[in-house]
């Protein structure tokens, strides 16, 4: 099977050219796999590593269909793509992973929630709305989520006051009950087209309290052995239920009573899996490639402790990016810097990440918090 891949002229078409695509293409270059990338931005990070980079609208039907014609496998690094075009490519005999039917569910948080309910997967109590309901008709506190096009803390907001509610756009949405959250967990699952799957040990996540954006991911987590096993089992059940092919990131809550709840999933490589690059035998990016190309799964074992620190744009800055305080970090043992190649910063925009690896997770977490205070992603303009 390996010779068929590595001795062929197979081409992978990637919808989306952001940092996830860029990091996957590092492995494609190492393996000499030909890649085509489509992205609306002419300065998308993945342009630097693609064999063929095309500027185009990911939501335009004909653009996506035309883009997929010269590829053998079509995959994504972002969910917001034209589903009907993917169905057309699938009917033409292209291997499209994730499958359009799976992606159609995941694109909508409302459909995701319905999927969890239909399959008896535990999740937060919620209500769905085609339009923004009146203030008098909702119960607070609650979590508002736009049904579509939310990402990285955008399209998600905790609602406690009427003024907060008035700032919310009138779009299809879901309102979730606030639940007690003791820990937030992510499990990266790889599932192939034969229905086989493997998963990485659950990692623990810490979020920015105001922006609801991921700040730190670390392994080993503080979960006990039963919680670890139950988290992996639930995540794999979700992947099977969706009939997903490729990588699936499953975000879970552990509530104060010790019960697991499915928060949401991402049908692609994910921020919570970046530390696999330095800390696991097989990175999430290589694992995704192995899975969509029909190659054997790679080893999912973490062989060292690790913590990832998200680098995001500072609140009051927008413009040409400057990484303030970064140079002084490079004498720290076990530190790995990943900058995504985005020329301009803006508030809370993901610009890169740092991974620390070692043998003492408590020490790594302490150092990570110091680094977070030391580094500022800013610009000359504000």
d(CA 14, CA 23): 12
Most trustworthy range by pLDDT among 87-101, 152-166, 173-187: 87-101
End-to-end CA, the chain:
54
pLDDT at res. 324: 93
**Has residue 65 got a pLDDT over 90?**
yes
Q: What percent of the chain has pLDDT over 70?
A: 96
DSSP secondary structure letter of residue 278: H
H-type alpha helices, the chain: 2-6, 19-31, 61-68, 83-91, 100-107, 109-118, 162-166, 225-242, 276-279, 284-292, 361-374
Quote the CA–CA distance of 172 and 157 in Å, as a whole number.
14
Three-state DSSP class for residue 340? coil
Q: Which tokens hold the place of 205?
A: 């996540």
Bigger pLDDT: 368 vs 211: 368
Name the strand (E) or helix (H) holding 54: strand 52-55
- Which residues have a Cβ under 8 Å from the Cβ of 7 and sit 6 or more positions away? none
pLDDT at 195 over 50: yes
* Strands (E) located in 169-318: 173-177, 183-191, 197-199, 203-207, 214-219, 246-254, 260-266, 305-312
Number of other residues whose CB lies within 10 A of the CB of residue 113: 23
Residue with tokens 């009573």, as numbered in its chain: 257
pLDDT of residue 5: 78
- Tokens matching residue 207: 């979020």
**Mean pLDDT, range 298-305, rounded to an integer:** 98
Q: How many separate helices (H) and strands (E) can be counted in the chain?
A: 11, 21
Q: Is the pLDDT of residue 356 over 90?
A: yes
pLDDT of 150 reads 62
Bridge partners, 60 (sequence order): none
Q: How far apart are CA 24 and CA 269, in angstroms?
A: 9
Closest CA to 33 of 20, 51, 48, 16: 51
What pLDDT, on a 0 to 100 scale, did the predictor assign at position 7?
Answer: 75
* Residue 231 clears pLDDT 60, i.e. is over it: yes
DSSP 341: -
Mean pLDDT of 250-259: 95
**Any residues with CB less than 8 A from the CB of 232 and at least 6 apart, and which?**
187, 199, 201, 202
**pLDDT-based confidence at 1, cuts 50/70/90?**
very low
C-alpha span between 296 and 197 (Å, rounded): 11
Paired tokens of 36: 């085509």
Banded pLDDT at 152 (limits 50, 70, 90) = low
Computed from CA positions of residues 29, 31, 36, 39, in that sequence, does the dihedral angle turn out positive or negative? Answer: negative
Total residues belonging to the chain: 382
257-271 pLDDT, tens digit each: 999 999 999 999 999
Contact between residue 318 and residue 345 where contact means Cβ atoms under 8 Å apart: yes
What is the rounded distance in angstroms from the CA atom of residue 26 to the CA atom of residue 218? Answer: 23
- Residue 211: pLDDT over 80: no
Tell me what pLDDT residue 6 has: 81
Residue 212: per-residue pLDDT = 67
How much is the mean pLDDT over the chain?
93
The DSSP call for residue 271 is G
Contact between 305 and 247 (Cβ < 8 Å): no
pLDDT in tens, 273-292: 999 999 999 999 999 999 99
Residue 70: predicted pLDDT: 86
pLDDT band with cut points at 50, 70 and 90 for residue 2: very low
- pLDDT tops 80 at residue 4: no
Residue bearing tokens 């078409």: 13
pLDDT band of residue 153 (cuts 50, 70, 90) is low
Please indicate whether residue 15 or residue 152 has the higher confidence score (pLDDT): 15
| pTM reported for the whole predicted model | 0.93
pLDDT digits (tens, 9 = 90+) for 81-136: 999 999 999 999 999 999 999 999 999 999 999 999 999 999 999 898 988 989 98
Confidence of residue 157 (pLDDT cuts 50, 70, 90): confident
């Amino acid at each position: 099977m390996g010779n068929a891949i590595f001795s062929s002229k197979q081409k992978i078409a990637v919808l989306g050219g952001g940092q996830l695509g860029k990091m996957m293409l590092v492995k494609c270059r190492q393996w000499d796999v030909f890649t085509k990338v489509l992205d609306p931005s002419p300065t998308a990070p993945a342009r630097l590593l693609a064999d063929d980079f095309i500027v185009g609208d990911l939501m335009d039907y004909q653009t996506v269909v035309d883009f997929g014609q010269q590829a053998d496998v079509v995959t994504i690094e972002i969910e917001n793509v034209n589903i009907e075009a993917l169905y057309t490519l699938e009917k033409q005999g292209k291997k499209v992973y994730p499958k359009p039917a799976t992606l159609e569910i995941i694109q909508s948080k409302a459909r995701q929630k319905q999927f969890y309910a239909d399959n008896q997967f535990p999740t937060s109590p919620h209500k769905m709305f085609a339009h923004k309901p009146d203030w008098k008709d909702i119960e607070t506190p609650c979590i508002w989520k736009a049904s579509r096009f939310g990402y990285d803390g955008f399209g998600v907001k905790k609602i406690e006051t009427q003024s907060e509610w008035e700032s919310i756009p009138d779009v299809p949405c879901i309102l979730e009950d606030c639940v007690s959250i003791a820990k937030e967990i992510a499990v990266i699952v790889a599932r192939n087209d034969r229905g086989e799957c493997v998963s990485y040990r659950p990692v623990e996540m810490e979020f920015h309290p105001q922006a609801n954006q991921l700040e730190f991911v670390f392994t080993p987590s503080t979960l006990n052995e039963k919680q670890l096993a139950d988290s992996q089992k639930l995540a794999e059940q979700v992947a099977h239920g969706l009939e997903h092919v490729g990588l699936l990131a499953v975000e879970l809550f552990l509530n104060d009573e010790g019960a697991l709840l499915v928060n949401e999933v991402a049908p692609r490589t994910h921020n919570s899996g970046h530390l696999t690059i330095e800390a696991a035998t097989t990175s999430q990016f290589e694992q995704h490639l192995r899975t969509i190309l029909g190659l054997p799964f790679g080893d999912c074992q973490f062989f060292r402790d690790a913590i990832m620190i998200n680098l995001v744009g500072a609140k009051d800055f927008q413009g040409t990016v400057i990484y303030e305080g970064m140079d002084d970090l490079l004498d720290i043992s076990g530190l790995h810097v990943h900058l995504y190649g985005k020329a301009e910063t803006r508030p809370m925009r993901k610009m890169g990440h740092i991974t620390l690896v070692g043998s003492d997770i408590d020490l790594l977490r302490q150092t990570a918090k110091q680094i977070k205070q030391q580094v500022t992603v800013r610009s000359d303009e504000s």
